[in-house]
Amino acid sequence: MSDDNGSTTCVDDRQRPVAVVKNVRLEGGGKGQLLLTERALVFEARRGFFSKPRTELEIDLSAISSAVMDEESKALVVEWLDENQEYSAIRMYLPKGKAAEDLCPALNESLERIRAGEELARRRAAYVDFLWGTAYDVWCVTGLLAGIIDGLTREDWQAIDGLVQDIESMAMDGSIVPGVPMQALSDAVPSRDGPLVLRRLLDVLRGLGSTLNNELLPAEEWGELVLEDLPGLKWRDIRYIYLFEVRSRLLHPMRRLCSQEEVDGAVRRLGKISQLLGETLSEEQQDVVSWDKLDTAELESEVDNMAVNLERALESRVGVA
């Protein structure tokens, strides 16, 4: 913080003192100077006139829970959590003068700014978690819905019952967006009427698609954060995940039920979505490879890899891996 000549050397802007008060007496300690930087409140003392100032106390501003002026004793009372997360408090007696008077407002201003910054960072992190959590739920429920379609084509009601139960559990946990007509699907399954269940399922897929297509939906909850160009997963990518999951899970029944031409068409579409997701998962812009030049087998291999990567990424981000 200080050089041999006693003058303050700033390593960076965050360490540059915003305010300095000399002749401060530390409770139970000696005299010295109190420096307020953008990052910390620092108390420096010198043993003798010719000795080098030594940092005796440094409190990270983000750890301070309270800093108030005791007008009676002219002491700045600071409370904070130390590195062991234990409560600490200290009184620092300030001299009379403008520097001391200005310190406390400056300190509180810094604290407010830091808290606001921290809150924003927290909200950003929470928004990113929200996006990944939503993506994971969409991925899960889409997989289950596609599983039901596969079960319907095989007339495997036992499998369908299990999948519907899983979907109902997700709905109970609140993992399914309200408004998606999931209950109508659950109600249709006991009829064992394949076409009816398929129709209800299409309603669910359409409902889920509409919900994901609604740009305002996250904004209602996250406000201006939605407009920020945060790196990594975006709301738009959840739509890609949804499309990818539906199409990739349907490939299996398609191979049984559809022509090779239709399967190839589906693989080509999946290849495009895979390429988009690839960029999202790598969290950085990549050189664009011409996937349209790949043949079906190569595309299928890329799609399979993407399915594995997507699953890993989603599970690790939501902590279920």
Partner 1 sequence: MASQDLGGQTVACPRGHENRCGAEWCATCGMPVVDFDVELEDVLEMLSGWEKHVSFTKEKVFIGVGDQGCRLVACFHQAWARQLKASDFLLIESSGDGHALPSLESVSPPGGDSRLRPPSRHHIPGSLNKQVGYFGLGERLATADPGINDSLLKTGIRDSSRKQVMLMVAALGGGTGGGASPHTLERARALNPNCRSLVMAVMPAGDEPDSAHFNAFCSLSRFIKSDGGPLADMILLVDHERLMRLRGVDNKGEEVSNDELVSHMLAVLTGGIADGGLKQSDPGYLARMSRSMGIHAFVPCLAVGRSLEIFGNVTNILESALACPLAPIDCDSIALSFVLVQAPARIAQSIPEEKLRAELNRWNKDKFANLRGGVIQVMHSERGSDRIDVCLLLGGTKLEVAAKRAKDGFDRFRSVVESESWEKEFASSNGAVREADQAVRWYDGKLDDTGSGTEGVYLWTDQNGQDSEVRAEKEPPGRSEP
Residues that bind partner 1 (CB under 8 A): 149, 152-153, 155, 157, 190-195, 197-199, 201-202, 205-206, 209, 212-213, 236-237, 239-240, 243, 246-247, 250, 253, 257, 262, 269, 272-273, 275-276, 279-280, 285, 288, 290-292
| Min separation Cβ 225 and partner 1, Å | 18
| Min separation Cβ 211 and partner 1, Å | 12
Contacts of 315 (CB under 8 A, 6+ apart): 136, 321
Closest CB to partner 1 among residues 55, 153: 153
Closest CB to partner 1 among residues 106, 159: 159
Measure Cα distances from 148 to 141, 158, 170, 198, 243 in Å.
Answer: 11, 10, 15, 9, 16
d(CA 278, CA 272): 10
d(CA 41, CA 71): 20
Closest CB to partner 1 among residues 35, 149: 149
- Residue 296 identity: T
Closest CB to partner 1 among residues 133, 278: 278
| Min separation Cβ 292 and partner 1, Å | 7
| Min separation Cβ 304 and partner 1, Å | 18
| Min separation Cβ 147 and partner 1, Å | 14
Q: How many CB atoms lie within 10 A of CB 101?
A: 12
Closest CB to partner 1 among residues 64, 189: 189
Kindly calculate the radius of gyration of the chain based on its CA atoms and give it in whole angstroms.
Answer: 30
CA-closest candidate to residue 108, choices 77, 136, 66, 139: 66
